[in-house]
Structure 1
């Protein structure tokens, strides 16, 4: 998989895994709602420090023969914090729908403040070509760490102004080596599997004629659980011997099945992104700005009355077997085949899993009342008539959040609200099944 090209000062070639994201045009949208006074100059300096330390943030994507590369932007082109006054809800919708086009900066930071400057929305957007969920969260927290040190007057130890950018290594160079014949055998088995078990997708409830522009826009339906219900859901998972991820995936699969016509079982697919950072040797820190994710696709026969715990045990067991075999490395090696064989990642539901992560640490007098991570992209395909349903799952400070981004040219807000509400009801039922005599630790 290695393209054989090393970083050379002002540019670094993209590996096959990173190149896949160029065509997808997807991005991570980190945001937090703030209450209190923000020192705009310090926040601007903090963002500048992040882009200086992390060259991908101040780069553009360029064509390089049959591939692509990252090239540093000129000083007057690099991204800077932008600020404006406005409504938080409207600002979030605008930033969610504002792309990071090829040829422009791969990051953006925006602060939108109320007229009295006491409430704010901060949005950090990063192209998925150079990040994944874990590194984007780490970047967001590091930015606020820098802000805190600046406003509190603590000394900093950056390499700001360094003449030699430190480019992160592509993950394709860090995975263990493999025999080409073994990779080809694995690819053949995967292709046979997806041909034997084609999955059904959730039909759109919107037609092209429902939108004057034929395109629609991105919206997000969201469910959250408070700390108590999140803890109870974790307890249910432990009592059942499964992960919270498996419980959520099972609930999503059941909800999706009830959006399909007909009786009996249907073949559905569940795609679980798999973090490679902790599985590399040595482990790759979350601060490394590279996409370090592969996927696991499994197909299941799901009835409209499927028992969530039964589904969860299947999801959990298959994912564990996949990891124990080391197939996550095989899966990453066949990434270049995905554009030619999209069924390798075609699923009914896509369920991310960031786990429990900390929110930003802020200086005294500034509070973050909400933190969000939502994936978005430029291209949706209303002409397809159906697609996977995406659920972005993360627990900031021990409170579960599941985000459902969608294009209104595909699914209406009412459709996705009902889908979200059914998932939430299912998770609450699972949380209520927790045994109260067992404490949740870790």
Structure 2
């Protein structure tokens, strides 16, 4: 059974990007119960039980049989499993979802890593998937025999998926009606803007050469993590200044990149921001629906070494807000299929995927959540290009803001990314520092 991909979804097939969610745990975790919870969640979401197949000139999602559908893999391991999963792709033709539970010897520390192809998810639905999985697990654990009696055999055996799945409608087909001439005019204007103001990209620092044997290039993640107190201070500073936290982060990234470009005078830099469509459709699309429901907004602006960071943050936030008020996000989704012809439409110096403030998983009593992360990853990187946008995935789980910098070591070295992370940290804290606070918590992986 198949569901044809819409033209926008087809773009993700070529990009080969995925969401990698992880949570670190301390305490008891029953692998068999978590496996049942995973089967139940995937049984409810047909797109999680599919692979991508050729369908004429395009592609389709093909439903997997019971023997092929993704199951939770249980293994022994520690933090190294995260790196392994981050560097294990979801190739076309294989299941679009993978889940691994790794437990250290002794069984007190665990790591769950869930990977989902971007063709069938976005940040909001990926986070909802993770939280729903743990909700089901918690119910099974806490209700015990009562829960098993209520759901019958589903509690003792893998959940069986419905034979006739209800496929989610592609978001591009849920957009409000518009005159095609308006969309064509919008495309012409956007192309003209990018042609007249191309943005600069960040040059790679890694020599373009084959790594030594045993030192293969891989995806790594450098992480900036603020504690709850620092995160709240940043939010209060943003409110007091009348700007958004997203604007502050975008400003910090652009000013740091501008300094690394060197030279005098202004440079045209671009901030590419995601725009959630779920909440802006009528009716809204629930975060539990596993589809890609996001478009992008690009703002190109001149940045000098002396640019006021707060003024830049205000400009970024105002430009994004006014674009949404005009309904540009709907037009940006409609013209997304033109991006392969006009790559500059989505070419930002920095890509800031901000999920906002969300709650992390709720676990049974006795099991502690020590960390939770969302990181985007790709199958293909292009060190031969010599430069690229800087990716920054921003999300605040349970009041702690994290900025994740995924990078490929053939492009940006770990040392380069750590220095850049530290510079961004300093730029963010400059909005809040009074000089007597303890140093911020920052971690790199």
TM over 0.5: yes
Residue 77, structure 1, aligned to residue 29, structure 2: no
Residue 383, structure 1, aligned to residue 384, structure 2: yes
Find the aligned partners of 1:61 and 1:163 in 2 and give their Cα distance.
19
Find the aligned partners of 2:293 and 2:415 in 1 and give their Cα distance.
35
Describe how 1:109-258 pairs up with structure 2 within 5 A: 109-153=99-143, 155=147, 160-209=160-209, 211-212=211-212, 216-258=217-259
Give yes or no for contact 2:270–2:349 (8 Å, CA) kept in 1.
yes
Find the aligned partners of 1:371 and 1:433 in 2 and give their Cα distance.
30
How high is the TM-score relative to the length of structure 1?
0.94
Q: How far is 1:215 from its partner?
A: 6.9
1:30 to 21, 25, 36: 21
The equivalent of 1:5 in structure 2 is none
Residue 47, structure 1, aligned to residue 38, structure 2: yes
Give yes or no for contact 2:175–2:281 (8 Å, CA) kept in 1.
yes
The equivalent of 1:4 in structure 2 is none
1:109 is paired with a residue of what secondary structure?
Answer: strand
Q: How far is 1:160 from its partner?
A: 4.9
1:101 to 70, 91, 98: 91
How high is the TM-score relative to the length of structure 2?
0.93
Find the aligned partners of 2:319 and 2:287 in 1 and give their Cα distance.
26
Find the aligned partners of 1:16 and 1:280 in 2 and give their Cα distance.
19
Give yes or no for contact 1:151–1:363 (8 Å, CA) kept in 2.
yes
1:195-237 deviation digits (Å, cap 9, x = unpaired): 0100000000012226247972100000011111100100111
Give yes or no for contact 1:393–1:403 (8 Å, CA) kept in 2.
yes
Find the aligned partners of 1:205 and 1:13 in 2 and give their Cα distance.
41
1:128-167 deviation digits (Å, cap 9, x = unpaired): 0000000000000000000011111264679954221121
Find the aligned partners of 2:31 and 2:268 in 1 and give their Cα distance.
52
1:231-272 deviation digits (Å, cap 9, x = unpaired): 010011111111100000000000110110311110000000
Find the aligned partners of 1:196 and 1:423 in 2 and give their Cα distance.
29
Q: How far is 1:352 from its partner?
A: 1.0
Give yes or no for contact 2:44–2:161 (8 Å, CA) kept in 1.
no
1:332-380 deviation digits (Å, cap 9, x = unpaired): 0001101111111001000011010000010011111100000000010
The equivalent of 1:339 in structure 2 is 340
Find the aligned partners of 1:323 and 1:428 in 2 and give their Cα distance.
28
Find the aligned partners of 2:434 and 2:339 in 1 and give their Cα distance.
40
1:299 is paired with a residue of what secondary structure?
Answer: strand
Residue 314, structure 1, aligned to residue 315, structure 2: yes
Aligned-pair RMSD on alpha carbons? 1.7
Find the aligned partners of 1:210 and 1:412 in 2 and give their Cα distance.
14
2:354 is paired with a residue of what secondary structure?
Answer: coil
Describe how 1:7-18 pairs up with structure 2 within 5 A: 10-18=1-9
2:273 is paired with a residue of what secondary structure?
Answer: strand
Give yes or no for contact 1:351–1:391 (8 Å, CA) kept in 2.
yes
Give yes or no for contact 2:66–2:160 (8 Å, CA) kept in 1.
no
The equivalent of 1:7 in structure 2 is none
Find the aligned partners of 2:278 and 2:43 in 1 and give their Cα distance.
23
Q: How far is 1:31 from its partner?
A: 0.2
1:352 is paired with a residue of what secondary structure?
Answer: strand
Quick check: 163-172 or 127-136, which moved more? 163-172
Alpha carbons of 1:215 and 1:294: their partners in 2 closer, same or farther (altered >3 Å)?
farther
Find the aligned partners of 1:72 and 1:80 in 2 and give their Cα distance.
15
Q: How far is 1:41 from its partner?
A: 0.7
Give yes or no for contact 1:59–1:71 (8 Å, CA) kept in 2.
yes
